Chain A
Amino acid sequence: MPIPNINLIPPAYYLRKKVRVAVATAVFADILVVGGLVAFAMMQTNHNQELKLQQTDWKARADRVDSTKAEAQTILSSVSDYTAKTDFIGKVFAANAKWATLFEAVRDYSYPQATYTTMKPTAGSNVMQLHISVPNTKEVTAQQALNLYWANLLRCPLVDTVLPSTNLGYPMNTQDNTASVSLGSPGMSGAPGGPPSPGGPPMPGGASSGRYLGSPMAIASPATGGAQTTSLLSGKELGGIDASVQIGENGQVTIGASSNPMYGFDITAQMRDSVTVPTFGAATQQQQQSLGGGL
């Protein structure tokens, strides 16, 4: 017969034991948690200290770089006065030479039979005023010569446009009567000339006063061969200039006894480039002495 297992220890005893174990476990767990957090915090703090050491080190290096750069700037600024002057001198020489560049560019793209009487570029502007004269012979009419001149000039890389307003004078040197006509768009691809624009005022004459002749018209595109274009002089008779001068329908100028078959034109060319004359410092600091040349 089995002996019954009688437990006389009250349950509270076990409960207290469990509680003691639970307390110990809880304390241990809390210590673990807090310890872990402290360890993590310590690690972060150490990392922070390391970073601060790195920061100090790199800051010194960065300061050294900045200081070297600042030193370079200080060195440069120590001669900024000289630099400004030498730069200015270089610009002066470049601008002086650029005048020649513009003249030569226009010359290189000029119709050989045209002769210039004036070439006047404007400083600081891309406008160049030109006065040319072209022959008017049986072989080459003034119309054709002007077209050729125009076509050539528009090929110049430095020339942007040739403004349409021009003046026609005949004959040169003796009787500078003028007629105002218009030049249209160049139409290098063969299209007809552009829309007409008002002609300019008559140019002051020489011996006699100018005569305003002709309504605004478009000039033929050089590439069209005149087939679809309106002639500069078509149907116009330059009465009062020379009784023997007749302008035919095809633009042919017939000259009678004239011994001076030259026509003069004022051309305004818009250049792609211009001369910018440099000035040093503020204008108020300069002593502008217009002494003038004793000429």
Chain B
Amino acid sequence: MTVVWDIAVLGAGPAGMAAATEAAQRGAKVVLLEESPAPGGQVYRAPPPGFVMPTDADRRAGDGLRAALAASGAALRLGVRIWGVGGGPLVPAGDAPAPFRLDGLDAEGRPFDLTARTLLLCTGTQERIIPFPGWTLPGVMGLAAATILLKAQGMLPGRRVVVAGAGPLLYAVAAKLLKHGAAVAAVVDLASHGEWWRALPALSARPDLLARGAAWRAQLLLKGVPVHAGARIAAAEGVAVLEAVRLQKLQAGPERRIEADSLCIGHGLVPAIEASRAFRAQHRYEPGLGGWVPVLDAEFRSSVPGLLVAGDGAGLRGAAAAPASGRIAALAALRDLGLMSSITHAKACAPHKLDFAQAARAGGAMAAMMALRPALVAAIPPETLVCRCEGVTRAAIDAALDEGALSMNQLKQFSRCGMGPCQGRLCGEAAAELLARRVGGREAAGFATGRLPLRPVPMDALLGEFDYADIPVPAAAPI
């Protein structure tokens, strides 16, 4: 039988890298699993092999984490797609909890599985995009998607770009676009100037981040990029591809048309909770942390014994706070596994808890700015697609709600919203908000039941070669 790992860490962003490093350095048998070909995550993304990219602050921080990870002795499985999670509490009634089990496809597309005594989820976030007319036109992409293009390969999303949405990513992307030679036609920020001013005291907890933000802003000023604060994209226009965007102040007023061949837009980030949902861990709705988050103790233990969650997937606090949360969680896991005394644990934890508190204060202020804005959902016109996988419009969702859909599961059944390949990752926020308006809030609206596979999985790879005789067909049904 295969090894049972002490700790399996899912996701090699800053939280996962730090956690795996911490645990492996202290002697635990650790495996770190990551979908990308290199560790780094979104913020500290490494360029693909053979690409030479200029070194910036993110790159240096990422390289530091990568070097420590490589030296730590943690096993790395890169380019893998984990489609299944099981074990833990997911056993027949009366059985003792089992080791955690992960099922995946390796970098060559071959199936594998592994078991671990502890599972630490560092799966980060996914982007929130609240639909608006034209949002499915080619040329419109997520803000986070644009950072992947820029960070990994210095690739421009377009020549004349409008950057829109919420949070610090707006300015990071706009500045990077300028640096790589694109024209930024406008930055359209949902937040007002007042909101940014009010966030300043919290941001001052991390002067380094504050300085970077100021530098981004200065570059925009220098290049004369117009920044529209307190404004939203009312529509994207174009026959086959994006040609222009229309923007409008949040307090209504006239619309303004700006020609562009690319719109990078993001309305914040949402913790990726597919795996913790599959384990039926307790979750709560915290708009300031990005939405639904697992219920965790101060050391990132979930309600499921042996299951921990760190990084932005535990609630948005930013990349700067993520390594500390990963280390705290890793130390908690070591303590729970009996691999570390309580004294050593307390001593080891203390500095990371301080780090985390400081970085989380700044990150939390940014997260609050990226919280879902109900006004955007209210403004979705009836004919606009909400679920692009299944072609479900706002009007169809309203019709299902009129017909009595009471929960996310039922809304899905009545409308097919969220039944496609994205399984609600793209449409879920808008759909849940529409439902929440009828049933009295997001807690009441709930979320769709978490099921496998965590990502769509190609059947051919999964099946492999097999003999019919080896399929464990159960006993025949009665006649």
Q: Do A and B come from one complex?
A: no
